Structures are given as structure tokens and as C-alpha cells.
Amino acid sequence: MTQAPPPPAGGDTSASPELQIKGSLRLPPGLKLNLPFYFFRHFFQPGNPILLFEYLQKFGRAAHYRLLWNHIVLLNDPSDIREVLIDKAQFFIKERTQKRMKILLGEGLITSDGEIHKRHRRIAAPTFHRQRIQGYAETIVAQAAAMRDRWQPDVEIDIAAEMMHLALGITARTLFNTEVTAEIEAINDESNAVMEIYNALISLPRAEALLRWRVPIPALRRFRKSKRRLDSVVDGMIAARQREMADSDARGEEPGTDLLSMLIAARDEEAVAEGRPGLTSAELRDEVMTLFLAGYETVANALSWTWLLLGQNPEAEARLHQELNQVLGDRLPTIEDLPNLKYTEMVLAESMRLYPPAWAMGRQATQEIDIGPYRLPKGCFVFFSQYIVQRSEKYFPSPRHFHPERFTPEAKADRPRFAYFPFGGGGRQCIGESFAWMEATLVLATLAQRWQLNLSQNQRLELQPKITLRPKFGIHVIPEYR
């Protein structure tokens, strides 16, 4: 599918191959000229940073380039990534693109830093504890089972669209305890609209200020309108749930078990003395939007790519079917089956290696800092890409091959921690990881138990690396009864 562009004819004279010593700094080798020059010369497309990152791999452990006045470093080595995410995490904040998501997500877990992030994480963490989320297994299986009953043999479907729809339904139920109602559709449509504009917006310098100053540009006006509508729908749902909870509290009943009810009820014991133990309505809104957007598209993409890979790899598919026959027979999966669905989980792990839904992450250094053999300047942006590192020959021989056996416990123990990091790591590791594994495993098991999905002949495959890694033209399959 995507391929690194060939080096410019006549050798790449625009690259500095050696470590670059500049004053106290030791920068990795990299591109000599400012990045826009390469866009201008059509070496890379601005819309597909994976091509750039693939090209930069030729510099080895890390690569340096400049975008206008900013220093940017791409790290490819798991030990350097570990330093940024764990050992020296206190010297980094979220990089600018993620921070700019504040215009959509406010001060939610993804966008906030420092004390605000710590407090919100403390409050939200118990909600996502493995034990608390187990109750969602039945909902997940019921929704997947309803979908598998709707499919018809030999009638082509776009499995990427189906997985989005399914994951949206599961999010509606587990986050808000509702069907995909008009309100949920509104949240989905408006956030998609906002995202479309947002993708264009974040490339504008000072996008936040342009929005704040109410500059009368049509796209900005549309963004503000969608955002207002989003806020009012989400605020309405939170207020309704708060009222319901107050009523059931007065009747001495337990609060609901959906994520929203749990977040409303969550308390930060460390802040009781300060008189602000829970999340305010505005904070709840930001977290709800964050969970809504972080939670469903990622899982849907993980599942979509898995169907593609299973369609391309009949041996792995046969082994998966064999496990489902042995463990489940004809009955639907339950939470108790998860420890026995080992191969199903390995299939998903290998799929997220090749097509990680979160395909890159970034941070910004708050001071001059040593990472591996390098000394990076204050303000330097540091990126690392799951898509790139997880396709490294060093840790995954024949990296393009789909081989779930790479995820046996023994094989995993042989690799450094950050050779594989689809859920990030350190203090900001994905809070929904257990939820995502549970959801993806149960959905895959429920659907593959009934159907084999054969890839349609006229498939057009292209990566679309937006905030998540999507298949640009969907994935078209023809269901066949097993």
C-alpha cells in the first residue's frame, strides 16, 4: 500500500547523515532544509505524514528536521521512546496538535497536562478498572450478535462502515446507557463535521485564537455552530443523568453502571478537603466528549483492519475458527471465555501491530534534554510512530507478514517494552485499554463464529492517517456462512 518515496535522483544531497553538534545540542542526523521545501519539491505529501516518517527511517535510530522555526525529532528506538514516555516524562507535555484539540475536547484527559490531567486521571481511573467494565461484556456481545443476524450471505458490505456503526452503538450503550438515538447521531455527525474542519484548522497558525476572536470565515463559523450544538446535546445528556441519579439517590437506589453515571459519581479522595471532590459539569462534558471520540473510532479501526488481514491470511483465519469452535461451540461468548480466547487476542494484537489505530504520538520538551545519545533543545517536538516502530525488522522479522504467533507470552517477553505500543505507555497510557481489548475480542469472536468474510475482488486499499488510521475507501467483503 504506502511506500517510502524514492530518494531524490542523484543522491540525497539535502540530508545531513551525521550527528549534528550545535552549541550544547546533539541533534540526530536528518533533513538539511526546512520541511516545506520538500513538500514544494513533491518528495512528500503534506497530507500523509507516514510517507515522511518512512523516508526518515533511513537515518536510523532517530531523525531531525525543521518545520519553520521548530525543531522536530522522530524517534525510532524503543529505549529512546521509553525515556520520553516513562523515565523523563515530567520534562514533556503533549505536543501542539494534540493540545489544539482543546478547541474540540476542552480540558479532557487527552488534551490536558500537569495538575489538571493528574486530578482527572485520578477521578476517572477507577471507572475503567477491569472489574468495573466487565459488566459491559453482555451489551457488547448482544450488539455484535444483532449485527451478525442482519448480514446476508453473498451480499457485499463495507466492513469498515459496519464496525464504525457497531462501535458507535456499543459506546452509546456503555457511555450513556442509550440506543443510537437522534442525540447520539447528532454527537456523531457534529463531531465528524467538526473533525473535518478541524483537520484543516490545525494547519492554520493560531487556530484557537481565530476561533476565539470570532473571525468571520465560513469554515470557522460552521465549526463554532457544530461545537455549540455538540456542547448542548452533551450538556443535556449530562444534566438529565444528574437528575435521574439525584432521584434514584433519594429513593435509596444504586446509581447506573454506564460510564457517565460512574464519572458523575466518581470522587477524588485527595481533593475532598478542598471541597471539589468530583468533576464539574463543564469538566464532565470535556471528559464525555473525549471518551466518545477516543473510544469508538479506535476500536472500529482495529476491527476493520483485522477483517482485511484475516481475509488475506486463510491459515490464520482457519486457526481462529478452530479456537472459536473449541472454546464456544455454538453458544455466544461471555466474559468468562476471554482467558481462553488466546488466539483471537493474538490476531488482534498482530493486527494492531501492522495497522495501529493510533499510528503516531508526540510530545514537546519543556527544557533542554538528553534522550539516548542526543541532546534536544527546549521546545523540541518529539514524535514516535507505532506504524513505523512496529514494522521494524529488528523486532519483527519479515515485518509485513501477518503472523499472530508473534504474540505468544514467550515471544512478547523477548522484545523491549516499546517495540510494540498501540496503547502508548507511562502515566498517559490509554485509560480504555482493558475496555478496548474486551470489546474487540468479544466482537471478533461473536462475528467470526458465524461468518467468514471474503474480500471483494475490486478492493481499493489506501491508508488514511488522520487522528486514527483508517482505510480510505473502506474494506469491502462478502459474508459467507461458516
**Residue 431 binding ligand HEM, by CB under 6 A:** yes
Cα torsion 260, 144, 162, 312 to 10°: value is 130
Q: Report the residue number, 304 or 449, with the smaller CB distance to ligand HEM.
A: 304
Q: Report the residue number, 81 or 327, with the smaller CB distance to ligand HEM.
A: 81
Q: Which of 139, 191, 298, 344 binds ligand HEM (CB under 6 A)?
A: 298
Report which residue's Cβ sits closest to ligand HEM: 432
Nearest Cα to Cα of residue 196 among 467, 474, 471: 467
Distance in angstroms (rounded) separating the CA atoms of residues 56 and 72: 12
**Residue 110 binding ligand HEM, by CB under 6 A:** yes
Nearest Cα to Cα of residue 106 among 204, 253, 213, 208: 208
Q: Select the span of 44-52, 210-218, 276-284, 431-439 touching ligand HEM (CB under 6 A).
A: 431-439
**Residue 299 binding ligand HEM, by CB under 6 A:** yes
**Residue 291 binding ligand HEM, by CB under 6 A:** yes
Q: Select the span of 215-223, 232-240, 339-347, 424-432 touching ligand HEM (CB under 6 A).
A: 424-432
Q: Select the span of 75-83, 272-280, 356-364, 458-466 touching ligand HEM (CB under 6 A).
A: 356-364
Q: Select the span of 261-269, 320-328, 336-344, 423-431 touching ligand HEM (CB under 6 A).
A: 423-431
**Residue 358 binding ligand HEM, by CB under 6 A:** yes
**Residue 357 binding ligand HEM, by CB under 6 A:** yes
Q: Report the residue number, 359 or 451, with the smaller CB distance to ligand HEM.
A: 359
Residue 9 C-beta: closest distance to ligand HEM, Å: 37
Length of the chain: 482
Interface size with ligand HEM, residues (CB under 6 A): 22
The answer to whether 272 and 246 are in contact (CB under 8 A) is no
**Residue 295 binding ligand HEM, by CB under 6 A:** yes
**Residue 121 binding ligand HEM, by CB under 6 A:** yes
Site string for ligand HEM, 224-263 (x = CB under 6 A): ----------------------------------------
Please report, as ranges, the residues that interact with ligand HEM according to CB under 6 A. Answer: 109-110, 121, 290-291, 294-295, 298-299, 302, 357-358, 361, 422-424, 428, 430-432, 435-436
